[in-house]
Chains A and B, each alone.
Chain A
Amino acid sequence: MNRGVDLRRYFGFFPMTLLCLFILYAPLIIVTVYSLNDSRSITSWEGISLRWYAEIFTGPESEKFRKAAWNSLTIAVMAATTATIIATAAAIGMIRGGSFRGKSASFALISLPIMVPEIVTAVATLIFFSAIGFKLGTLSILVAHIVFCIPFAYMPINARLQGIDASYEEAAHDLYASRWQIFWHVMMPIMSPGIISGFLLAFIISLDDFIITNFVKGAGVETLPTAIFGSVKQGIKPNIMALSTLLLLLSILLVTASYFVGQRREKPVPTNQKPETEA
């Protein structure tokens, strides 16, 4: 081995990483700074104040945003839960179902929501709902969200399940455990990290969605993204910046929390994959 040459380090990669982080954070930091601006206009600086944060909770638009946030949250929870259940079942069926005809087709169908561009999904769903007379409302948003959340929930669960040897279930089976017992006491504990990340991914995807929601939402129903879009289209107002900052803080909090929870939970898991050799 050539002495003194570190093959893991390349000149310029570190600055590039810093540049990458700079680009990722610069707009968000600027928005955070300007959300503290006392001025009503976003173009001039008039000292620090928290008035725009107060306005989110007490201002004339607070009611709208509160409702929208509640809608977003309930839809995301329900859509992610349903999608995760469907995806878990599908993953077990696919990975533990042996080989069967139409397996590739089945996989393609489950991945369809990520393959179809969002705008096409949005328009197609709208036309379909309108053709069958399905009334647009909260339910139409929920249905659309469940469908496009399924593959996002499926991927991590599938990946997790693929890494687990079926011998655990076989052993339980040999010990006369019922299917339900095997599912609940053997599969679930092993699959749970995959299920949790699948749920979280689906949850975020649902919470984040704008285009599809905007097409299929009914009269007077807003989610946070559509409400924000309605406000920012007419110009960026300081209260929107304050709201964005709060959302940023919330996501930092959530991500950090899930990191620490993950650290604590991380116990060795039975797997038939090679142990990671890379140090």
Chain B
Amino acid sequence: MALKYLVSGAAALTLFAGQAMADGKLSIYHWFEYIPDELLAKFEAETGIEVTMDTYDSNEAMLAALKAGKMGSYDVAVPGDYMVEIMIGEGMLDTFDSSELSNFGNIEDQWVDVSFDLGRSHSIPYQWGSTSFSVNRDVYAGDINTTSILFDPPAELSGKINVLDSQGEVIALASLHLGIPQCSNDRDQLKALDDLLQSAKSHWASFGSDVAKDVLVSGDAAVGMIWNGFSSKAREEGANIEYSFPNEGYVVWMDNVVLLKDAPNRDSAIAFMDFLLEPENIAAVTNYAQYTAGVKGVSEYLEPALAVMPENNPRDGAGAGAFVAVCDEATQTVYDQIWTRLRS
């Protein structure tokens, strides 16, 4: 397009063009509150690469922002399992060879041949954990081992529930509650899913992922759908909450560092991924975010408390953990419709 050259030509004339991506920079698109500043400082000190980071608060928001013009601005992002699969399908990820990463062999065997990225040519493991909900024990003393707490709550919890603003996880948890398979294209099941979320909505006070910890700590919410590590941080900040592993099951996930297509600084991205496969470095993330790493040899660097943390140890009798599934376009369209109806 002629317009395109005109504009980029004009851009090149200005002062700001000097800021265009040069070597020795790294631009990260990451979840909020998920990497300690000290670790980024360490990476900068070791490699001399200057790091900038923007944050997002859901897999879907990250995908949307990249689609809406931010592709080509970032080198790496940290999508969850199902989102890695989607991004590969959309052609948004670059590939690397395992030989490019000197620490590739550090990846735990069970996380090398993962269904969303067989053999790991686009992504490396970052952290894995679970998504369920936590209940303020000052407000509610009853049984919390059921997803009914979220979807059909007792009277004392109604209107005091915060739910993650994350389509994939909310719909997956609701499917577990109903005992229906994910991505089902059975009309009655989809209808039941829609009805469930519509009736649950009247009990919910707010949607928010970035506020998920704060609402529990401040007492603005008595129940919060939340990730396990985030819940344990909330507990450490003084909330008298308990994380539930429901009978119906819960969502498990693995976040992965992916190499984005059109990355302005591919070499820096590879260096960063290699850096995160060092046990000591990824252990620093685990100590900070309180999830679990997927790298061998981290245990000696971990804080002992993490191993016995209730949020990391499902109780006996808890339902199984399930990954969020990637649906075909027809089902996803219905999911989008259900989600829109839920949010408006």
Contact = CB atoms under 8 A, between A and B. Distances in A.
Contacts of B14: 139
Given A219-B27, A230-B32, A234-B214, A136 B70 contact: yes
A132 B10 CA distance: 13
Given A43-B218, A230-B32, A235-B218, A137 B74 contact: no
A220 B265 CA distance: 14
- Residue with the greatest number of chain A CB neighbours at <10 A, chosen from B4, B16, B17, B55: B16
Contacts of A137: 16, 19-20, 73
Interface in B194-251: 208, 210-211, 213-214, 217-219, 237-238
Interface in B33-70: 33, 37, 52-55, 57, 68-70
A142 B27 CA distance: 21
Contacts of A126: 68-69
B68 A127 contact: yes
B308 interface: no
A41 B8 contact: no
A136 B8 contact: no
A37 B107 CA distance: 46
A133 B7 CA distance: 8
B214 A135 contact: no
A70 B16 CA distance: 14
Nearest to B3: A132
Q: Which of B3, B7, B57 has the most CB of A within 10 A?
A: B7
A132 B210 contact: no
B119 interface: no
B70 A219 contact: yes
Contact of A219 (B52, B208, B218, B237): B52
B155 interface: no
A132 B29 contact: no
A113 interface: no
A60 interface: yes
B72 interface: yes
Nearest to A142: B16
Contact of B72 (A60, A135, A139): A135
A133 B1 contact: yes
Given A234-B33, A234-B213, A135 B68 contact: no
Given A139-B14, A233-B210, A234-B32, A130 B68 contact: yes
Nearest to B218: A43
B138 to A, nearest CB: 14
Contact of B211 (A130, A220, A234): A234
Interface string A116-144: 00000000001101101111111100100
Contacts of A136: 69-70, 73
Contacts of B320: none
A132 B27 contact: no
A37 to B, nearest CB: 15
B70 A235 contact: no
Contact of B54 (A129, A132, A220, A233): A220
Nearest to B219: A43
Contacts of B74: 219
Nearest to A44: B238
A193 interface: no
B55 A230 contact: yes
B75 to A, nearest CB: 9
Given A137-B19, A138-B19, A235-B214, 12 more contacts: A42-B218, A127-B68, A132-B7, A135-B11, A137-B73, A219-B54, A220-B27, A220-B53, A234-B32, A234-B33, A235-B211, A235-B213
Interface of A: 41-43, 60, 126-127, 129-130, 132-139, 142, 218-221, 230, 233-235
18 contacts: A41-B238, A43-B218, A126-B68, A132-B3, A132-B7, A133-B1, A133-B4, A133-B7, A135-B72, A136-B69, A139-B11, A219-B52, A233-B32, A233-B57, A234-B33, A234-B213, A234-B214, A235-B217
